[in-house]
Chain A
Amino acid sequence: EAGVTQSPRYAVLQEGQAVSFWCDPISGHDTLYWYQQPRDQGPQLLVYFRDEAVIDNSQLPSDRFSAVRPKGTNSTLKIQSAKQGDTATYLCASSFEGAEQFFGPGTRLTVL
């Protein structure tokens, strides 16, 4: 069974640029999560979906971050006008009915 896949694996951009991250969850998993993991810290939940519906996006900086999961399968996380403080690894995870979460390898973002 294929695990959670993410792309790209790395991204480097200047402040003010936009970037999108893509996640393909494990087949059949209805719940998808996006986390931000700053260097040497634990993952922090940004947003999560059950099928195509957003369940909780209270930690998503809504002025510059957006996330969608239009068909309840793949998902895209976008940062408009990135800031140096956004430098982190962005992790996607999926689960079935809120059980064990399986993580992808992450996208390491550096904002110069």
Chain B
Amino acid sequence: AQTVTQSQPEMSVQEAETVTLSCTYDTSESDYYLFWYKQPPSRQMILVIRQEAYKQQNATENRFSVNFQKAAKSFSLKISDSQLGDAAMYFCAYRSGYETSGSRLTFGEGTQLTVNP
């Protein structure tokens, strides 16, 4: 079974600064997808960014980028130019790329990000 671990329960960053959230995972599969979801106080989880394991290039979405280290099974999220609206719980998640394994998401524990003005 796959596991996802986020070792930072809480992080804080100053507005306009850069912060990196860590995520490691364990899997024996070679085909999979990794995701970062944001959960603001409104509770609705929103996809921030995703990475296909077969892609060597790190995904980027505006101020959000990942550092995907497949051999190390590491998938960190970098938020540049942090904004007050970035404050939320961030979840790392894994999904198998194999049809027979289904499409369930396996989540990490979450990292609560505070952005200080």
Question: Are A and B interaction partners?
Answer: no
